[in-house]
Amino acid sequence: MKGFLSMIGVLMVFGVGFSPFLANYLWDDPFVIMDAPWYRPLIYIGFALIFLPGILGVFFEGGKVKKGVPGVGIITSVQLTGTYVNNQPQVKLGLTVTKHGEDKYDTALTTIIPLTSMAQFQPGSIIPLVVSEKDKLKVGLDLKGQVSQTDLQALMNEQMVKQGVSPELMEIAKTGEQAYAKVLDVTPMGEAGPNKIKLQFTLSVTKNNGDTFNVTTQKVVFSSQLSKLQQGSIIEVIYSPQDPSKLVFKTQVSEAEVQQAFGSSR
């Protein structure tokens, strides 16, 4: 639609702008046309049709998609387009997108970002998105808070399963019993990927009723979490009531770990 209006605008400006030359050729008086009451308004309307749809579209949309499914984007690049609306810059964001049921993929979003918010839109930043159900490459900023914390956690869980965490452990994390555990021993088992290491833990777990039990388990953890998982540390765990030896660590996920989960599609 914008392209059609712009084409009409170009034809209007060209046609009306050429008419004085035609009048000069036919009647030796270009002012017959230029002084006509319709001449200037048609010129202005033509320019409006050329430029106004694009500017209004950028200003009011704030992104390409208003409705869709929740997603998460990691900004991979930020490029100023040179266009400003009300002194606010238009930028083209390169994104790696994660949505439910899809492998991570790359796309781009052109939108207006307030100058006061530019610090939040830098490479590596995590932003909530709305993804078109018809075309996954079309995304918009989640300006209305459609991406809830539950959505974000579900997407995070899905990515963790794809990176090797068993669905069984993910289910324990959702439905298990919370407890505290003391790390009795830690044995390195080798690297398990970028910024990850596999460790064997011996834990003394204290249930809510005061009962304790020991368990030995192997876990792949982020390198940034090592300082919290040393011998003698007290950590929160979630264990299966049916089989207390099966448990997961309840550790706070850092921004870097979220970026790794939702990061590059390559």
User: pLDDT tens digits, residue range 6-43?
Assistant: 566 666 666 666 666 666 666 676 666 667 776 667 66
Instruction: Decide if 221 is inside a domain.
Output: yes
DSSP state of 252: P
Look up the pTM and report it.
0.49
> What is the Cα–Cα distance from 227 to 223, expressed in whole angstroms?
8
Whether residues 147 and 78 share a domain: the answer is: yes
Whether residues 180 and 141 share a domain: the answer is: no
Structural domain that includes position 28: 2-61
Whether residues 170 and 249 share a domain: the answer is: yes
User: pLDDT band at 258, cuts 50/70/90?
Assistant: low
Instruction: From 101, 127, 152, give the residue that closes a domain.
Output: 152
Whether residues 195 and 235 share a domain: the answer is: yes
> What is the Cα–Cα distance from 239 to 221, expressed in whole angstroms?
17
Whether residues 77 and 56 share a domain: the answer is: no
Instruction: Decide if 245 is inside a domain.
Output: yes
Q: What is the mean pLDDT of residues 48-56?
A: 54
Burial of 182 (0-12, 13-18, 19+ CB in 10 A): middle
Helical segments of the chain, H only: 2-27, 31-34, 39-61, 149-162, 167-175, 255-262
Instruction: Decide if 157 is inside a domain.
Output: no
> What is the Cα–Cα distance from 105 to 135, expressed in whole angstroms?
13
CATH number of the domain that 101 lies in? Answer: 2.40.50
Q: Residues 13, 43: contact at Cβ < 8 Å?
A: yes
pLDDT digits (tens, 9 = 90+) for 81-123: 888 877 888 899 999 888 877 778 899 998 888 888 888 888 8
Number of domains in the chain: 3
User: pLDDT band at 253, cuts 50/70/90?
Assistant: low
Angstrom CA distances, 174 to 30, 60, 126, 229, stand at: 80, 40, 24, 22
